[in-house]
Amino acid sequence: MTSAETDPTRRGRQRRRLAAVLVALAAILGAAGLAVLRESRKPVIISLDPAVGEPGGVVRVVGRNFGVERGDGRLEIAGIAPTGSSYLSWSDGVIVARLPLIVDSGLVRVVNDRGRSNARFFMNRDRLPERPGAATGAGTSPRIESLSTAAAPVGGLVTIRGSNFGATRGASQVLFAWSSPVASSGDANAVVEVSEAEGGYESWSDGEIRVRVPDGASSGGLVVRGDSGSSEPLYFQVADMPGVKTYGDKRTYALSYFVQVSRVKSTGPNDLWLWIPRPVETAAQRQVRIVSRTREREDAGPPGVDLIRLRDLQPGRVETAYQAWSLQVHTVEVEVRPERIREIPAPIPELVTRWTGPDRLVDPDDTRVKALVRRLGLAERNPYRLAKAAWDLCLAEWKPAVGARAEGEDPLNLLDSGTGDPHDFAIAMTALLRALGVPALPVSGYLVSSGRTWRHYWVEFWIHGLGWIPLDPFLGAGGAVPGFAVPFSDRSRYFCGLDNRHVAFSRGAPSYAPMAPDGRVAVRERIHSLQDRYEEASGAIEEWTSFWSEVEVTGIY
């Protein structure tokens, strides 16, 4: 019998197989080595000088592996390459080029036959956000010297150190680049502000600011803007995002409405205060501008409303406060990667504690809500998966009603009856999410289409690192708003997405302090803002009648 060790034919086959394996291994190692070599030869940018410049100016790029000659190499500045005649010099370690006459703020890269370099941020000085009429003296403008971290997620804490920030914040702002394709299109408004309403400003002094990275922020220039001007931007990277949020399909609306006061009974001096809601500014709803008004608002009025004071109303007279706005609304679509969501690090942001507890509108401790949570029986802490479980329950068990409920009816009756209007759906979903430990808030406003408006309510929930995520449980559950053509034919898109027909007038449960100790407050429910007061009378006024019109669409662009 012939063994494997003594069979010449078999030994030959083994040697050939071994030779083939060695050749394949050599090829793999060679390819890997070539890839490593190719990667090591890619261009690398070390610095830009200047990082803030003007169109037509000269920029000096320092690094390595640019190539001794330009050849087919090029600079890319905010996606645009200078013309060939713009390159003043090119060497392996330094490129000097003249900036295009039309150049936006954006990322700078060197591209050659070895690949694309890392990116550095360039800011067009003309695009620096400035407060109208502000002084810009170099000695008094805010100056950023350092950041506690060069990268953080949305909701992360960043300490900004420098000078001339001001002893108190006042009207000063910290601005981040906006996460949208138009943010590099030369739009000087392509920034998002740290949110005061969400506790985004943790502390402020002349030399140090502690802020939370706002919803909608992206990597780019960070700026401190004050009464004396704006700082030069410092590049900041938004990192560790557990998904992608996209803002697109912009629509510009012109809206107006009015409040009319009549049938006044008074016997002397009096005041009637009106808290008139205005569209909110968010990462998806932007550039809210007052176009015209018939009454000037009080300078000391709270954010989110125009506070109007009607003085000494007289019997027989009709008073009208009219306002018109323009604003831009973007479609929002969010792709969440739940496996990348991380625990919120300490200290816990204020918005998390605020929007997981009870408030004037939402009671997550209601026994019906707690029973629903127990029935779900989720051993889960991931906010996306918890929100998806709440959404699935909504679609399975809640039925949209036709027409609005009566004022004063408990929205959580939806959990008993199984049917409700958009307001019921929004409040009940918010309560369920908070009971599950997910920060959430109701949003009120209008659906807008074809020159018409419909009062509506929806929800946002928070994922640390990604920001506020929209959902419309009423439309998602198949709800119909008579006369409104739902833009998303696939209703599942209303989970982690929203069309550009939703115009928001309030988020959460806005509360405002009284204006007079003897003030008599008129409360309104289920209109386009969820605020706690609309009117307050003081002095010698006995009766009045007020009419709040619906919002009217005067233009869609």
Cα 361 to Cα 82, 411, 429, 444, 536: the distances in Å are 56, 9, 12, 12, 21
- Check residue 131 and give its pLDDT: 42
**Burial grade of 224 (CB within 10 A; 0-12, 13-18, 19 or more):** buried
Nearest residue to 391 (alpha-carbon basis) of 423, 364, 429: 429
- Check residue 262 and give its pLDDT: 95
| Whether 212 contacts 349, CB under 8 Å | yes
Distance CA(89)–CA(69), nearest Å, equals 9
Residue type, 161: R
Span between the terminal Cα atoms of the chain, in Å = 91
Distance CA(200)–CA(155), nearest Å, equals 8
DSSP string, 178-193: ESSGGGGTT-TT-EEE
Cα dihedral 479, 482, 483, 489, rounded to 10, equals 20
Distance CA(130)–CA(227), nearest Å, equals 9
- Check residue 101 and give its pLDDT: 80
| Whether 103 contacts 132, CB under 8 Å | no
- Check residue 32 and give its pLDDT: 45
Distance CA(163)–CA(73), nearest Å, equals 40
Q: Backbone phi, then psi, for 43, in 5-degree steps?
A: -65, 145
Residue type, 386: L
Mean pLDDT of each 10-residue bin along the chain, 557 residues long: 48 59 51 48 87 84 93 89 89 92 83 90 67 50 93 96 94 90 53 92 96 94 92 91 92 96 94 95 95 90 90 94 96 96 91 95 97 93 97 97 77 95 97 98 96 96 97 97 95 98 96 89 82 93 93 93
Query: How does 126-153 read in b/e, with b if 16+ C-beta sit within 10 Å?
Result: ebbbbbeeeeeeeeebbbbeebeeeebb
- Check residue 103 and give its pLDDT: 78
Residue type, 21: V
- Check residue 2 and give its pLDDT: 42
Residue type, 114: R
At 473-494, the pLDDT tens digits run 999 999 999 999 999 999 999 9
Token readout for 117 is 């370099």
**Model-wide pTM > 0.85:** no
DSSP string, 228-288: TEEPPPEEEEE---SEEEEEEEEEEEEEEEEEEEEEEEEEEEEEEEEEEE-PPP-SSEEEE
Query: How does 413-450 read in b/e, with b if 16+ C-beta sit within 10 Å?
Result: ebbeeeebbbbbbbbbbbbbbbbbebbbbbbbbbbbbe
